[in-house]
Structure 1
Amino acid sequence: MEAPVAGIDVSKDKLIVYFQGKFYEFPNDKQGFEEVKKVLPRGCKVGIESTGVYHVNLAKCLMNEYEVRVINPLVIKKFKDFRGKKSDKNDAKKLAELVVNMGSEFTLSDARELTSQWDFIVKSIVRVKNRLRRDLILLGYSDSLSRKNLSEVLEGGDNIILSEVKFLLDELERLEARKREVEKRLEDVVPRDSLIFTIPGIGKTLGLIILARVGDVRRFDDKRKFVAYCGLDPVVESSGGSVVSRGISRRGDAVLRRAFYLAALTAIKVNPVIKRFYEEHKGRLKGKKLIVACARKLAVITWAVLYYNKPFDASE
């Protein structure tokens, strides 16, 4: 017997629930979540549109008792008749219909939220390390974060700067532990047998990040659309008879763009295609611009591998 299906339209302050021909309205808070549970039977399939951060707490609350399907708005746009007459009730009903019609094809877990946490943690680690290096120089030591150098620093006399160093080291340890925890959880919610891992330069963690952010790559029927989604598409301006490059658009997914940038740093050394691309362009491009170009090339390769479902082949 098929599990019953519900749709929930989520806004900042309220939830509109559609279930078996009836509509219910609850506040978007813990009390409202409990009211939703009173209406929906355990095991029910629940369709929720991903709406910034407003759907996250609801999805987490329902996930243990219901088959929650957080549906990407970009997926929803593929269905031209989804919206129909715009209203919260209509959206809730259509979400339920979408879950029925699409089955499990477009089910999303909280993997995307995990990638946002990972990105925040990585940036926080960089900031803490930069502050640590600054403090080490002020104390008269090298800015190395090696165990030997830090041990020498910690043996010094107590002062305001050394107190901050101790605090920052504790903070760094906490952040590193949380980063490992998030990466472990990503392994549990993202497929580890994806062909993305046949691409040299894309390791386990960055591969999981990319897969979680991209979702179903088949929604990008052209590599240029995928590159634009990553925000790695070049911005070119023409003036008179000249054409000037203005860098990349940065309009796409910032987490995805950063993942490809980090992967490109490794791919330059181990991926024959990216390595050749790097050598061919290093005379014209310098520094970050060259790395970004390599990241764009790596994104194109990733799209092709996932879209055509073929392992990486350096000869193609």
Structure 2
Amino acid sequence: MEAPVAGIDVSKDKLIMYFQGKLYEFTNDKRGYEDIRKILPKGCKVGIESTGVYHVNLAKYLMGEYDVRIINPFVLKKFKDFRGKKSDKNDAKKLAEIVVSMGSEFTTSDARELTSQWDFVTRSIVRVKNRLRRDLVLLGYRDSLSRKNLEEVLRSGDGIVLSEVRFLLEELERLEARKREIEKELENVVPKDSLIFTIPGIGKTLGCIILARVGDIRRFSDKRRFVAYCGLDPVVESSGKSVVSRGISKRGDAVLRRAFYLAALTAIKVNPVIKRFYEDHKGRLRGKKLITACARKLAVITWAVLYYNKPFDASE
């Protein structure tokens, strides 16, 4: 017997739930979560729109007893039958309809939350390193973060800038330790035998992140939909006879987009298809634009490998 389905629209202060033809309103706090549990039977499928941080506590509370589906706002916006004026009540109903029509493709475990943490920690590490390099220059040293250079800096005495250097080094060590922890946890929540790992350039960590963010690839019926979901689709404007590229849309999943960008940096060296694409386009594109184009190409390859369930083949 198919499990019943509910949709919950989340905002900062309230929750609107659609379940079996009825609408309910609750407060977005523990009391509201308890009221929801009184209505929904165990095992119910629950569609919740990802809304910043406001959906996180609700999702965690329900995950023990319910099949929770975290739905990207971009999917809700682009849902085929989404019509009419936007409202909380309409959104709650549409969330339930998405779960019914698209099955089990949405990531339901803590994997998605882990990827968000990994992305935050990774970007924090970059910021700390940039600040460290800035402080080293202020102290009159090279901006190298090599152990030898840092040991020399730390022996130089005291001062306000040097105190910050010590603090930042401790913060960097803590962040890098947490990053390693997250990567180990991610390995345990995604399939280790996924064909994504046959794609040169997509290593263990980035492969896990992409799988966790994508969920079931079958919800993307063609490569264009998947590329758009990643926010890697090009924006082109035409005026008269001229056509101008405005870069990428950036409307999709930011974590997924960054994962493909990082993977592309490796793929241009080890993936024959991406290497060839890079060489063919480096005369027209440069810097980040070229890497982004390679990331888009890598996303298309990933979609094909997962959608058709066939290992990577450079000859195709």
TM-score, scaled to structure 1: 0.84
8 A contact 2:102–2:219 mirrored in 1: no
- Superposition pairs for residues 104-123 of structure 1, below 5 Å? 104-106=104-106, 108-123=108-123
8 A contact 2:76–2:95 mirrored in 1: no
8 A contact 2:235–2:249 mirrored in 1: yes
Letter in 2 for 1:9: I
Deviations 1:68-117 (CA, angstroms, capped at 9, x unpaired):
3434562796574x889998678767766876776645453233332222
- Superposition pairs for residues 58-77 of structure 1, below 5 Å? 58-72=58-72, 74=75
The alpha-carbon deviation at position 47 of structure 1 amounts to 0.8
Q: Percent identity?
A: 78
Residue 219 of structure 2: aligned partner? 219
- Superposition pairs for residues 71-86 of structure 1, below 5 Å? 71-72=71-72, 74=75, 80=81
* 1:244 matches 2:266: no
* 1:253 matches 2:257: no
Residue 10 of structure 2: aligned partner? 11
SS of aligned partner of 1:137: helix
Letter in 2 for 1:218: R
Residue 192 of structure 1: aligned partner? 192
Residue 139 of structure 1: aligned partner? 139
SS of aligned partner of 1:9: strand
After alignment, is 220-229 or 287-296 more displaced? 220-229
State the distance in 1 between where 2:295 and 2:184 align. Answer: 25
Letter in 2 for 1:125: I
8 A contact 2:23–2:89 mirrored in 1: yes
Letter in 2 for 1:173: E
The alpha-carbon deviation at position 140 of structure 1 amounts to 1.7
After alignment, is 58-67 or 12-21 more displaced? 12-21
After alignment, is 143-152 or 12-21 more displaced? 12-21
- Superposition pairs for residues 1-316 of structure 1, below 5 Å? 5=4, 7-12=6-11, 13-16=13-16, 25-40=25-40, 43-53=42-52, 54-72=54-72, 74=75, 80=81, 104-106=104-106, 108-316=108-316
SS of aligned partner of 2:188: helix
State the distance in 2 between where 1:91 and 1:130 align. Answer: 42
Deviations 1:273-304 (CA, angstroms, capped at 9, x unpaired):
11111122222222222211211111111111
The alpha-carbon deviation at position 271 of structure 1 amounts to 0.5
State the distance in 1 between where 2:72 and 2:106 align. Answer: 8
SS of aligned partner of 2:227: helix
State the distance in 2 between where 1:100 and 1:241 align. Answer: 45
Deviations 1:236-287 (CA, angstroms, capped at 9, x unpaired):
3344444333322323322222111111110011101111111222222222
8 A contact 2:79–2:98 mirrored in 1: no
Q: Structure 1 residues 285, 239: closer, same or farther in 2, change over 3 A?
A: same
Letter in 2 for 1:181: E
Q: Structure 1 residues 235, 77: closer, same or farther in 2, change over 3 A?
A: closer
TM-score, scaled to structure 2: 0.84
Letter in 2 for 1:61: Y
8 A contact 1:48–1:55 mirrored in 2: no
Q: Structure 1 residues 212, 278: closer, same or farther in 2, change over 3 A?
A: same
State the distance in 2 between where 1:31 and 1:92 align. Answer: 19
The alpha-carbon deviation at position 150 of structure 1 amounts to 1.2
SS of aligned partner of 1:312: coil
SS of aligned partner of 1:149: helix
For these two proteins, the number of residue pairs brought into alignment is: 313
Structure 2 gaps, min length 5: none
Q: Structure 1 residues 14, 6: closer, same or farther in 2, change over 3 A?
A: farther
Deviations 1:111-139 (CA, angstroms, capped at 9, x unpaired):
33322222222111111100101111111
State the distance in 1 between where 2:232 and 2:182 align. Answer: 26
Letter in 2 for 1:198: T
Letter in 2 for 1:245: S
The alpha-carbon deviation at position 61 of structure 1 amounts to 1.5
After alignment, is 175-184 or 6-15 more displaced? 6-15
Letter in 1 for 2:49: S
SS of aligned partner of 1:291: helix
Q: Structure 1 residues 232, 100: closer, same or farther in 2, change over 3 A?
A: closer
Structure 1 gaps, min length 5: none
State the distance in 1 between where 2:212 and 2:20 align. Answer: 32
After alignment, is 122-131 or 178-187 more displaced? 178-187
Q: Structure 1 residues 286, 149: closer, same or farther in 2, change over 3 A?
A: same
Letter in 2 for 1:133: R
| Superposition CA RMSD, Å | 3.1
